[in-house]
Amino acid sequence: MLPPRSAFGAGLGFRRELLDELSHGVPAAINFFELAPENWAGIGGRSARQLRAFSERHPFVCHGLSLSLGGPDPLDRELLLRIRDFMREHGMTLYTEHLAWTSADGQLYDLLPVPMTGDAVRWTAARIRQTQDLLGMQIGIENASYYVVPPGAEMSETEFISAIIAEADCLLHLDVNNVYVNSCNHGFDPLAFIDALPLERTCYLHVAGHYTEPDGLIIDTHGSAVIDPVWQLLARTYERIGGTVPTCLERDFNIPDLAALTVEVEQIARLQAAAPAALRKVA
């Protein structure tokens, strides 16, 4: 068990593809790493040893993929217990998951949008509460990207997110790239969207790159560099919440060398430094 350590500043998604380079030295700009427990918890051998070598020296954030908070299948308590032990083992203090569903009569292994209804608010908030009780801590929920607005919506997305956060008494993990991707695909003002969220609850931020299909549809691949409009949106976000919220660069495909990723992490740090100090305290 490692002593608890909180993430701060700018961080990078922890991936096996980067381990060789990282083992020669972690660039100073990288203050923390983020990983998916579904990829790393409960394993042994080389991967476990490598992870341990990094978690002994750097804070890690636990960012889940499979919990299916908005899904109809029973909440996976066994998964959560394993995540709880894994976080203790590595001294992690923050767990975030997506406001999405990934399973219905079995896993689908990807993040899907929850119909924005009152029933779904109550259902999802109850599951977040159960999760928080089991982990003994507040969790952050992330606004997800989506390519279809599920039918039957009774409220806007920001109302949906806000209602769940209020009812679950949880934190907001704001993915700035997802806001941008959705604003393009579904035609809304990204900044107005961000302003309508309970920003005082923000515990964590994501930025990432994406891919634009020939017909203009943007797919949230995390497979390319962050584009300028997303950097600008991140800067506007810091103006609202201050520059102290830890922010992670996600990169999951077409992974470039560490130097290229470090340039982007340094960009996060520059924007954080340029922002006013904490404006709103996390609840």
Partner 1 sequence: MPGLYPDFQRFQRAFARHARAPWQTPRPAGVEARAMGVYNELLFNNLRSFLDACFPVCRELLGEGRWTRLCRTFYRDWPQRTPWFREIPRNFVSYLQEGEIRQPLPAWLGDLAHYEWVELAVDTDPATVPLPAPSPVAPLLSAPLRLNPTLRKLAYAWPVQAISRDYRPRKPRTTHLLVYRDAADQVQFVETNALTSRLLELLASSQESSEQSLRQLAAESGYASPEQFVHFGAELLQQLQQQGVILGVRSA
Nearer to partner 1, 29 or 69 (CB): 69
Nearer to partner 1, 139 or 241 (CB): 139
Residue 151 in the binding site for partner 1 (CB under 8 A) = yes
Report the alpha-carbon distance of residue 41 to residue 179 in Å, rounded.
Answer: 29
**What is the amino acid identity at position 87?**
M
- Sign of the alpha-carbon dihedral angle for 108, 217, 254, 31: negative
Query: Which one among 42, 57, 133, 169 touches partner 1, defined by CB under 8 A?
Result: 42
Query: Per CB under 8 A, which of residues 159..178 are in contact with partner 1?
Result: none
Report the alpha-carbon distance of residue 173 to residue 192 in Å, rounded.
Answer: 17
Q: How many CA atoms lie within 13 A of 63 on its CB side?
A: 28
Nearer to partner 1, 97 or 264 (CB): 97
Query: Which one among 67, 99, 261, 271 touches partner 1, defined by CB under 8 A?
Result: 67
Residue 114 in the binding site for partner 1 (CB under 8 A) = yes
Phi/psi of residue 109, nearest 5 degrees: 60, 30
| Distinct helix (H) and strand (E) counts, the chain | 10, 12
Site pattern 209..238 for partner 1 (x: CB under 8 A): --------x-x-------------------
Report the alpha-carbon distance of residue 164 to residue 52 in Å, rounded.
Answer: 35
Please choose, out of 27-35, 96-104, 239-247, 255-263, the segment that lies near partner 1 by the rule CB under 8 A: 96-104
**What is the amino acid identity at position 70?**
G
Contacts of 43 (CB under 8 A, 6+ apart): none
Query: Which one among 31, 55, 66, 138 touches partner 1, defined by CB under 8 A?
Result: 66
Question: By the criterion CB under 8 A, which residues form the site for partner 1?
Answer: 38-39, 41-49, 66-67, 71-72, 76, 79, 101, 103-110, 112, 114-115, 117, 119-120, 123, 147-148, 150-152, 217, 219
